[in-house]
Amino acid sequence: MVPLDVRAAARRSLSLVPARTLPAGRYVFTATHEGMFGGRDYAYLTIVRPGDAVSPLTGGASRTAPVARALPPIAATLVATLFALLLVRSYRRRPAAQKALWALGFFLFAFAAACEAAAQRHGWTPFLFRSYYLCGGVLTVAALGAGSAMLQLRPRLRDLLLGGLAVAVIAAAVTVAVAPVDAQLLAQTATGRPPANGALGGHAFLWAIALNSVGTLLLVGGSALSIVRRRNVRANVWIGSGALVVALATGLSRGGDYSYVYVGQLVGIALMFAGFTLPARARPAVPGTAAVRAAAR
């Protein structure tokens, strides 16, 4: 590692220079950032001797790179939207609260991925980051978890859950909308990855922690409870596995390649969607099986 000295510092910029002369050769510059999922950025550069030929700074590859980086979130957007539309069609044929909530969760995930695809291509803006943070970082898991809880709770508790979710959604949306955005941190996210969580000020992170924690508990806990009660075991295994895959995928970004996050998320939401829509086997001897079967269709 080569130590760096500060050459100049300003309010929005910091210039660094090597503390000693670097010999010709291949180098890699690593910069870590927080982001919604964390990660690292790598920049490879070659130092040549004075007078030697240098590589151009721009070219065909640099023009196509933003498009290539946008493909994974675009794929996530399309897949999540397809799942949401299928759930909407199922809801229209046989209305059920859990179907509406699951569809909402997939739509929110799709919109968050679309925001990131736009940022990969054109850079982050305060509107894109607020939308991404609210839909993907705050509300998606809460909606999916509330949908799973609909299958476990009694009618009165369902009403309380829906009322509490509605209040939380409104409060979280207002908090994110009025929270200040650090434009400098947005500008520093050159690759289009999610900016550091600190880019959004205020107390929006409290809603993200609360709703994600409750949503995960309802989603995984509801599936585990159904498995213990031997109700629609196959479907709930798929739902729980999908939630686990999504959770594990978010940690892959710390390995330096953010594209794996989208692969994991696509696999995870596909498993959850399969569990949400998997028909239950006919087991008339077990109370509540008919209701579970009707909810899963």
Tens-place pLDDT, residues 217-234 = 888 888 888 788 887 788
For 120, residues 6+ apart whose C-beta sits below 8 A from its C-beta are 66, 69, 70, 73, 191, 192
Hey, how many other C-beta atoms are within 10 angstroms of the C-beta on 68? Answer: 11
Tens-place pLDDT, residues 148-192 = 889 888 889 999 999 999 999 999 999 999 999 988 888 777 555
Domain positions in the chain: 64-296
Q: Helix, strand, coil shares of the chain as percentages rounded to 5?
A: 65, 10, 25
Hey, how many other C-beta atoms are within 10 angstroms of the C-beta on 234? Answer: 14
The whole-angstrom separation of Cα 135 and Cα 149 is: 20
Structure tokens at 253: 């970004």
Tens-place pLDDT, residues 62-98 = 445 556 667 778 888 998 999 899 989 989 999 999 8
Which CATH number is associated with domain 64-296?
1.20.1070
Helix (H, G, I), strand (E, B) or coil at 200: strand
Q: How confident is the model at residue 1 (pLDDT cuts 50, 70, 90)?
A: low
Which one, of 229, 227, 226, 197, lies nearest residue 212 by Cα? 197
Bridge partners (DSSP) of residue 33 are 39
Q: How confident is the model at residue 198 (pLDDT cuts 50, 70, 90)?
A: confident
The whole-angstrom separation of Cα 83 and Cα 269 is: 9
Structure tokens at 43: 């920049």
Q: How confident is the model at residue 23 (pLDDT cuts 50, 70, 90)?
A: confident
Name the DSSP class of 3: -
Average pLDDT over residues 48-54: 61
Total-model pTM:
0.69
Tens-place pLDDT, residues 256-268 = 456 567 777 788 8
